[in-house]
Amino acid sequence: MRDVIQKIVAAETEAKQAVEEAKAEADRILAEARKKAQDISANAHKEAAAEADRIIRSAAAEAEKEKEERLARAAARIEREVGIDEARRKRVVEGIVRRICGP
């Protein structure tokens, strides 16, 4: 009978130890999972920031291109509207010079 009781106590001790080991393993796995989740979150944040920077740079480049195109169109329109041919421009300049410097 004593043998049976000792075996039961030993089995209980082994079971307690197995439960403690399982708890420790579960804690380790949980900590590892949390660390991985944190790493994934940090990585996703970095990727999102990089994508946002790329989008901003692209939008800025597009805005600059649009500005240049608008300036070119405005300059061409002004040139057409104000357009003075070379001969007329020369006569105007000569007239101004005569007025300022005298005959």
Q: Looking at the 3D structure of the chain, how many domains does it have? A: 1
The predicted-structure confidence for 38-91, as pLDDT tens digits, reads as follows 999 999 999 999 999 999 999 999 999 999 999 999 888 877 777 777 888 788
Q: Token digits for 65? A: 């291109």
Tokens 């005959």 appear where? Answer: 103
Domain extent, residue 63, equals 2-101
Q: What pLDDT is stored for residue 103 in this prediction?
A: 64
Q: What Cα–Cα distance (Å) separates residue 59 from each residue in 67, 68, 87?
A: 12, 14, 44
